[in-house]
Each structure stands twice: as C-alpha cells, then as structure tokens.
C-alpha cells in the first residue's frame, strides 16, 4: 500500500463542521479494512485534536498519513500556544471558555484522551505561535 495523505483545514469556533475531519478519517480507515480497534483509537485522537483546534486556537490543520505500518496524525494550530503542557495533560484541566463548556465541550479530557489512544504522542507548543501534536498508531 502506498502512503495515503488526508489534509483538513480546521476553523476556529466552527462547531457546525467540528468532527467532520475525524468522521472522514474513520470512513477511509474502514474502507481500507483497518481493524475496528485501530480505527476507533485513531478516530478518537483525530476528533480530540480537531476539537482542541476549534476551541482553543485561531484555526489550523490536521494531516493524516496512512501507510502499511502506521497512521500518523499531525495537528498544528495557529496560536495562542499552551503555557504549561504538564498541567494541560492533566485530566479535567481546561482553559475553555464558559460559552464552550455550556455547549458541552472543553471538559479537559482532550489531550489525555489523545495520549491514551496513541502508541506514540509528541506535543510541542510555542506561546503566541502554535501548538503541534504528532500522534502515531501502529497497525
């Protein structure tokens, strides 16, 4: 199998389209015959990354690379960055606005859920520039 690349633009506060990228990734993985367990983990990680971009950033991109051995999700947003990554990785910690929490989002489980679903997880953030996640799942 050759490498398949999927690219999605994610807009700030676009709750109407939120979840669309992860749904499309799930559909592609099912069509490729990827196991239901791997498909579930990748879909959850993609959804959580997508929602983090919608809720916390000024927009960004998600790229998904699928090859014979692994699936790599790279999510990169534009600003504001994460001041304390260790704190952000704690379950229940959130910087989501009250408005976002009233919509049922921003419970502080995104990054912990992503890490739990990944075989490898990398996060880098520069204040006022970007946050980038690299999530790898082995097939």
Rounded to two decimals, the pTM is: 0.95
Q: Can you list the domains of the chain with their CATH numbers?
A: 4-138 (3.30.565.10)
Which of the four pLDDT bands, split at 50, 70 and 90, describes residue 1? Answer: low
Cβ-Cβ contacts under 8 Å for 36 (sequence gap 6 or more)? none
Residue 25 DSSP SS3: helix
Mean pLDDT value of segment 52-68: 97
What is the average pLDDT score of the chain? 96
Q: What is the pLDDT of residue 2?
A: 75
Q: Which two tokens stand for residue 109?
A: 């489980």
Reported as a single tens digit per residue, the pLDDT across 72-120 is: 999 999 989 999 999 999 999 999 999 999 989 999 999 999 999 999 9
| C-beta separation of 95 from 112 below 8 A | no
Q: Which two tokens stand for residue 104?
A: 């049922």
């Amino acid at each position: 199998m050759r490498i398949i690349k999927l690219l999605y633009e994610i807009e700030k506060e676009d709750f109407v389209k939120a979840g669309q990228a992860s749904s499309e990734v799930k559909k592609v993985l099912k069509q490729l015959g990827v196991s239901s367990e791997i498909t579930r983990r990748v879909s959850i990680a993609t959804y959580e990354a997508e929602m983090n971009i919608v809720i916390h950033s000024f927009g960004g991109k998600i790229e998904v690379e699928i090859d014979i051995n692994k699936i790599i999700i790279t999510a990169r947003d534009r600003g504001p960055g994460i001041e304390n990554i260790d704190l952000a990785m704690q379950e229940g910690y959130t910087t989501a606005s009250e408005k976002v929490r009233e919509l049922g989002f921003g419970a502080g489980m995104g990054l912990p859920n992503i890490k739990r679903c990944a075989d490898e997880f990398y996060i880098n953030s520069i204040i006022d520039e970007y946050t980038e996640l690299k999530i790898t799942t082995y097939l």
